[in-house]
Structure 1
Amino acid sequence: MEHGALGNSSAGNFILGKKEFESRRSAECVKRQGEAAGRKITLVEVPDWRKNREITESCQLLQQEIVLSTSLCAPGPHAILLIVRTDVAFREADRSVIEGHVELLGEKVWSHTIVLFTSENYLGDTPIELHIESEGGALHWLLEKCSNRYHVLTTESRHAGIQVQDLLDKVEEMVAENSSCHYEMDREILKDTEERKRKANERAHQRQQNVQKQRQNIRSQIGDRKLSELRLVLMGHRTAGKSSAGNTILGREAFELKTAVQSEFKQGTVADREVTVVESPCWSESNVQNTAKMYQLEFMHSLFLCHPGPHALLLVLRVDTKYSEMNNRVLEEHLELLSQNVWNHTIVLFTHEDWLGQTPIERHIESEGGALHRLLEKCRNRYHVLNTKVKNDDMQVMQLFEKIEEMVEENKHCYYQLDQKILDAVKERRRAEERAKERELKAQRPREENRAKIGEYIVFVFPHEHMHICLKPVHICNDNYINVHTSA
């Protein structure tokens, strides 16, 4: 298990002495076998969780895979290796995140856990104990939970065999402490999780078939026609990946990767289409009623930037994060600022497809259930997933365009028309901008008048260690001499 960043793969390859694990994120466990230090080894790589996300924010797919990881090395693992990087600070928030994810396996799992520190020679000759004592509280708690069992793997070291040998010796010592027993997952929990995964896979397959059939019916009506122009609006939470999605769609670094407080639009020619992409301001996790009026006006103004109206509103969601009831409530409140028929022009756009690996997006959807299902139903089961790490994959962008064109066909060739509510918001925003300029000018005028009265300043620096530096106004006399008021 690994906390926060890719490290499972390199540690697994180091232990097995060869490249068995790919250095990429994956939503499912990966099992590999080999030999090390004269022993047959089975290693299971568990999907990594996000460093700053509590267990309540992790998607169901990840939670299921953590639980099922123990069944891939039946009858059970001899050791749980919890990977912690030495070049990153370990804080109280990290402790809480690790506790929640590890204890999905049960409270007794700590008796079978070793903290595996990884380092690309970051520590140098510094002993790991000095690092531990320097970090303090949170890391101390983690080691105490593991009965102070820990080991360091320096992946850049030439002494790989010795490091792996020492690690396996510590594993055997821990097994002896546990009465020569491996870790055994609660069978009822394991059985229930396996059943939920099986049903989710069945529903995912059915969803794929239903969506494919629905798209085929619409595509038969469209034929080879395609829109020569596409106007798109990206909406979502500040960490959803709107800017990355916009860059992927346009095939270039058009949007800066930052939290947007104002709407921004970029244009380009993609797949023989003139494409306008508008990034709306990021919304927070608070209710719309608690957000500033300026933000609400800016949010509605984003649709006006692709006048006369967008062909599609793309709701951007991270695929590696839980979609909660609160997320759904905030999203719906934002769209309620627009008109009711906005859902007819909306597609859910999942980002961070690289985390899914070979897992279909439908498996994630069916594992989440509840709030995500209701959102997709409102959007008539229109969704797409983007790998924003890949900028030159024309196929994934082409498939998105095709889905947008199919939606436009369903809407009788109409885009989302700007209603009076949006037009009024645009007018109010312009009036607010005019008032802001007037206020700025009004505030500057007295400052300029005061500065004109003050005149210039001269600073005297006296080379005496006890002399004060004096700053006094200069008065220009008629005899062209300068009188300066000084004080000691």
Structure 2
Amino acid sequence: MAAYAHISKLAQSQPATELRIVLIGGRRSDGSLRGKSSVGNFILGQNVFDTSRRTAQSEARQQEVFGRRVTVVDTPGWWWYWPTEDTPKLDQIEIQNSVHLCPPGPHVFLLVIPVDLHSSQLVKASLKQHLELFNADVFSHTIVLFTAVTPSTYEEKMSRIRRNPVLQWILQQCGDRKHFLNLSNREDRDQVKKLLDKIETLITINGGRHCSVDRSQGETLRKEMTDLTERASKRFDQVQKQINKLKLQIEGRLQVLFLIS
């Protein structure tokens, strides 16, 4: 604990001028405003990510925050209780491609989890599978970011987490690194400042290294995305042609019936 406190002080005395953050995590069907896009807006202090729709593509946005140039990459979410095989291939590629949108690589992954998420073994299995989309060292660069929209004390939040073995397992994998954000109080910028301090501490612990990124993989992913998009476009055109053909056939039959009558 003393060693961690020393590293934390060292990080704060030598603040980074640039922080690169990738937001990862699942999504829910209840229209929750505690998702990754809301977190990205909260951190950057601007509504730069669209929260009115599902994130379909990884997107990078940059702002100056507390004297640092902060890049945040928002990613498509997976369903918390579903395995990777049920996540669309294009979503998987977009998630993988996120690390290539903040070159030379992200300093930290923020695993965004609503503090009231019902975390079962299905969540654990899904998380393990989806994090395999990244390099093996993803956990050493991850902080768990618990989000809420209602006021609660630190002890109340921790009590909920302690009662949940899946959340305990997640924290264990991430070296017990965690932070809480109350997204309903965007005026409280101190929440963001403390988060950036924790990120800088993690960077110091990792020897200043960002998460390793394979540039050749980025080129492969972009080619896969192009191929998938082109195939989808061709299928759409084929379906549209069939619809138009069917419309013409129906109109022709209606004209015959009209003439007969």
> Could you say which TM-score interval applies, normalised by the shorter chain?
0.7 to 0.9
- 2:39 alignment partner, SS class: helix
> How much has 1:300 moved relative to structure 2?
0.8
Letter in 1 for 2:112: V
Match of 2:67? 272
Distance 2:186 2:120 in 1: 29
Gaps of 5+ in 1: 1-209, 458-469, 473-484
- 1:386 alignment partner, SS class: strand
Q: Aligned residue pairs: how many?
A: 245
Match of 1:247? 41
> How much has 1:319 moved relative to structure 2?
0.9
Q: Which has the larger radius of gyration?
A: 1
Match of 1:224? 13
The answer on whether the counterparts of 1:320 and 1:355 sit within 8 Å (CA) in structure 2 is no
Match of 1:119? none
Distance 1:322 1:359 in 2: 19
Relative to structure 1, the CA distance from residue 355 to residue 392 in structure 2 (aligned partners, 3 Å threshold; closer, same or farther) is closer
The answer to whether the aligner puts 1:373 opposite 2:162 as a matched pair is no
> How much has 1:336 moved relative to structure 2?
0.9
The answer to whether the aligner puts 1:332 opposite 2:167 as a matched pair is no
Equivalent of residue 297 in structure 1, options 82, 90, 93: 93
> How much has 1:427 moved relative to structure 2?
3.1
Match of 2:192? 397
The answer on whether the counterparts of 1:351 and 1:387 sit within 8 Å (CA) in structure 2 is yes
Relative to structure 1, the CA distance from residue 253 to residue 371 in structure 2 (aligned partners, 3 Å threshold; closer, same or farther) is same
The answer to whether the aligner puts 1:238 opposite 2:12 as a matched pair is no
Superposition TM-score, scaled by structure 2 size: 0.81
**RMSD of aligned alpha carbons:** 2.9
Equivalent of residue 286 in structure 1, options 82, 85, 99: 82
Match of 1:343? 139
The answer to whether the aligner puts 1:362 opposite 2:188 as a matched pair is no
Relative to structure 1, the CA distance from residue 321 to residue 376 in structure 2 (aligned partners, 3 Å threshold; closer, same or farther) is same
- 1:385 alignment partner, SS class: strand
The answer on whether the counterparts of 2:8 and 2:198 sit within 8 Å (CA) in structure 1 is no
- 2:202 alignment partner, SS class: helix
Distance 1:446 1:397 in 2: 52
Relative to structure 1, the CA distance from residue 387 to residue 215 in structure 2 (aligned partners, 3 Å threshold; closer, same or farther) is farther
> How much has 1:382 moved relative to structure 2?
0.8
Relative to structure 1, the CA distance from residue 422 to residue 331 in structure 2 (aligned partners, 3 Å threshold; closer, same or farther) is farther
The answer on whether the counterparts of 2:21 and 2:73 sit within 8 Å (CA) in structure 1 is yes
Q: Deviations over 1:423-452 (max 9, x none)?
A: 233332233234445x269649978x98xx
Equivalent of residue 317 in structure 1, options 95, 105, 113: 113
- For 1:438-453, what aligned pairs fall within 5 Å after superposition? 439=234, 443=238
- 1:349 alignment partner, SS class: strand
Q: Deviations over 1:290-317 (max 9, x none)?
A: 3332221122122222222111111011
- Structure number with the bigger relative contact order (C-alpha 8 A, sep ≥ 6) is 2
The answer on whether the counterparts of 1:236 and 1:315 sit within 8 Å (CA) in structure 2 is yes
> How much has 1:215 moved relative to structure 2?
3.7
> How much has 1:342 moved relative to structure 2?
0.8
Superposition TM-score, scaled by structure 1 size: 0.45
Distance 1:445 1:322 in 2: 42
Relative to structure 1, the CA distance from residue 306 to residue 283 in structure 2 (aligned partners, 3 Å threshold; closer, same or farther) is same
Distance 1:214 1:426 in 2: 42
Relative to structure 1, the CA distance from residue 353 to residue 364 in structure 2 (aligned partners, 3 Å threshold; closer, same or farther) is farther
Distance 2:25 2:71 in 1: 18
Letter in 1 for 2:227: R
Q: Percent identity?
A: 33
The answer on whether the counterparts of 1:251 and 1:392 sit within 8 Å (CA) in structure 2 is no
Letter in 2 for 1:342: V
The answer on whether the counterparts of 2:12 and 2:197 sit within 8 Å (CA) in structure 1 is no
Q: Deviations over 1:185-210 (max 9, x none)?
A: xxxxxxxxxxxxxxxxxxxxxxxxx4
> How much has 1:335 moved relative to structure 2?
0.5
Distance 2:49 2:199 in 1: 21
Letter in 1 for 2:175: R
